[in-house]
A and B are shown apart, each in its own frame.
Chain A
Amino acid sequence: MSQPAVIHLEKMSKTFESGFFFKRRNVAVREVTLSIAPGRTLAVVGESGCGKTTLARMAAGLLKPDSGLVTFAGRPLPTWDDRSLRQRLQMVFQDADGSLNPNFKARDLLLEPLRLHGLLQGDAEAQLERLLSMVGLVPDLLDRYPHEMSGGQRQRIGIARAMSLAPDLVIADEPVSSLDRSIQAQILSLLRSFQERDNVAYMYISHDLESVRAIAHDVAVMLGGVFVETGPADAIFTNPMHPYTRLLFEDAIESCDARAVSDYDMEWCQASEDGCAFAPLCPHAVAACSSSLPLLIEPTPGRYVRCALAADTNEIAA
């Protein structure tokens, strides 16, 4: 990476505890390290419950990590004042319905970020027109409430809100997973066009491999709160090394959906306290896999795999 990273996460961990008398610990994210360079897209792939959203919320500074540090644009996140940080780091949410204030009309939703940051200069109508055309919406929509719009329209509003402040990084948490295939493609190309124009970086969280293939430069596969494999998207898609990634992609050929892999996800998360979360299902697992977390190894430059057997199993597969 030639340019300095726009965001760097160093050994982020988060454990949730629940229950009053009997504490139940749920390790959501374990020692995750990642970097995203300007204008690049890192896709974090994994099934529900693997810690993707927790990671995204920590990266955005909406959730305090138990340990680890986020560095945004060269400065640690805690030293940023909220106002200037929120201007440069934006989020797009999965559930555009729930993430738009139901008490506001589209007009106010679109102008809200600019108003909050005191950037609304001159003619509000002109700004609205610019924002609408930016995301391909028609002005008829302006006087509607979120529940009166379609899912695609809501997500476009969500994207317009995020992009209106010209951020450096947008964390998109499953932005297209509740939409139709055809709308998904439109939203993804919209996101790509912003990247080409403004050199914005994306952290794209998804379980949908097809959309990841369409937008990501780099991919990180997440399982049980850890990254099991990271690397350039092309390399990972053509030659997945971790047994879990391979299973994910094989199944995904039919279903295009990482969620279809298994129903074991909850047990995986709970079982991941010590060993590799995939050990119970892995065809190549040995005893050591379930007792200690495998180290991250670098079989080829730029690719990291958290599996002791990755190199060998890779040969088996080949």
Chain B
Amino acid sequence: MKDRWKSPGMLLGMVLCAILVFFAVFAPQVAPHDPDRQHLAHRLEGPSAEFPLGADKLGRCVASRIIYGLRPSLGLAVTITALAGFIGTSLGIFAAYFKALDALLMRITDCFFAFPGIVMALIAISILGPGETSLMIALALPGWPKYARVARSKALSIRECGYVEASRAIGAGPFYILRHCILPGVLPSVVTISTLGIGGKIIHIAGLGFLGLGVQPPVPEWGTMLIKGLPVIEVAPHVSLSAMAAISLSVLAFTMLGEGLRDVLDPRSNLSDWRKLQFAS
């Protein structure tokens, strides 16, 4: 168990995630400039000592905007994942434990699965209008079925364990059993897929920002920065490249952490075998 923690990918993922969280929390302290302050004399200027990642079309410090952009990206991604994970896990273990609800809940889950996630998000945003709350709803809506599936399949196998029946035999009610017998066994997998899920949500948030449907300006956001940088990419590639790098780096960080977590918490998961096969071929 101990040496599993020494996997380099997970360590790197942990360090990167810690750095990202640190920057998001202490953005005002670490950012070189106010992200909204326009230094018009330095418009589209390349990286320099004063502006580490240059300045954008309005002369705002790109580095500061990237750092402040961590806040909506990380904050929303974590909130959405927590929301989706909570809803999905609860429904999943309910479906597994109460056989009568199983068919109904799982068919609802299937309906959500059948819908492409980004299409559902676009529909939700066009109904609710752009904004942070609607972004949360739009991304949590297609997000939860995955957790329901995983939680249900785990719970189904735990439910057949001797100690669940033994708990019933000493008089435990269904909610006690769900809380103390089933949930602890389901959580490792849920934590793993939600860590991986945070990475996916960061992409979705940036994607919706890119389309102008996500976090609204002037709040600094990576997807918005990317599209704003595209027209000037020939004269000032640093604007969109920085945003791209920020998105890639944060997705990479959470994916590495998630994969490492999976190897630790779910050592028998066949996903890692699958990955080994891919490397072999």
Contacts and interface: CB of A to CB of B under 8 A. Distances in A.
A95 B162 contact: yes
A91 B180 contact: no
Interface in B160-210: 161-163, 165-173, 176, 180-181, 184-185
A21 B173 CA distance: 35
Q: Is the interface of B mostly helix, strand, loop or mixed?
A: helix
Nearest to B165: A62
Contacts of A123: none
A87 B168 contact: no
A93 interface: yes
A90 B170 contact: yes
Interface in A124-166: 158, 161-162, 165
A62 B169 contact: yes
A83 B163 contact: no
B163 A102 contact: yes
Contact of B163 (A62, A82, A98): A98
Contact of B165 (A87, A90, A99): A99
Interface stretch (A27-35, A110-118, A224-232, A245-253): A110-118
B159 to A, nearest CB: 13
Given A91-B166, A116-B176, A98 B161 contact: yes
A86 B169 contact: yes
A101 interface: yes
A86 B166 CA distance: 11
A41 B185 CA distance: 37
Given A98-B161, A101-B163, A101-B180, A91 B169 contact: yes
Nearest to B177: A101
A86 B162 CA distance: 17
A82 B170 CA distance: 10
A113 B162 contact: no
A113 B163 contact: no
Interface string A193-216: 000000000000000000000000
A99 B162 contact: yes
A104 B172 CA distance: 15
B61 to A, nearest CB: 50
B170 A93 contact: no
Contact of B184 (A97, A100, A103, A158): A103
Contacts of B185: 103
Given A62-B169, A113-B170, A99 B163 contact: yes
A95 B171 CA distance: 19
Contacts of A91: 166, 169
A309 to B, nearest CB: 40
B176 A100 contact: no
A116 B161 contact: no
Contacts of A98: 161-163
Contacts of B180: 101, 103-104
A50 interface: no
A16 B34 CA distance: 71
Contacts of A165: 170
A138 B185 CA distance: 29
Contact of B169 (A90, A101, A103): A90
Given A101-B180, A101-B181, A103-B184, A82 B162 contact: no
Contact of A83 (B166, B171, B181): B171
Contacts of A60: 169
Nearest to A63: B165
A102 B181 CA distance: 8
Contacts of B172: 112, 116
Contacts of A162: 170
A86 B165 contact: no
A82 B166 contact: no
A60 B162 CA distance: 15
Contacts of B165: 57, 62, 93, 99
Nearest to B164: A101
A103 B185 CA distance: 8
Given A93-B162, A95-B162, A101 B167 contact: yes
A107 to B, nearest CB: 14
Contacts of A103: 180-181, 184-185
B171 A100 contact: no
Contacts of B167: 101, 112
Given A101-B180, A101-B181, A103-B180, A117 B163 contact: no
A162 to B, nearest CB: 8
Nearest to A60: B169
A112 B172 CA distance: 9
Interface string B112-132: 000000000000000000000
B72 to A, nearest CB: 37
Given A101-B181, A103-B184, A113 B171 contact: yes
Interface in A66-105: 82-83, 85-87, 90-91, 93, 95, 97-104
7 pairs of A and B residues whose beta carbons are closest in the complex? A86-B171, A98-B162, A99-B166, A99-B162, A91-B169, A103-B184, A113-B170
Given A57-B165, A62-B168, A93-B162, 6 more contacts: A91-B166, A91-B169, A100-B166, A101-B163, A103-B180, A161-B170
20 contacts: A62-B165, A82-B171, A83-B171, A85-B171, A86-B169, A90-B170, A91-B169, A97-B162, A100-B163, A100-B166, A101-B163, A101-B167, A104-B180, A113-B171, A116-B172, A116-B176, A117-B171, A161-B170, A162-B170, A165-B170
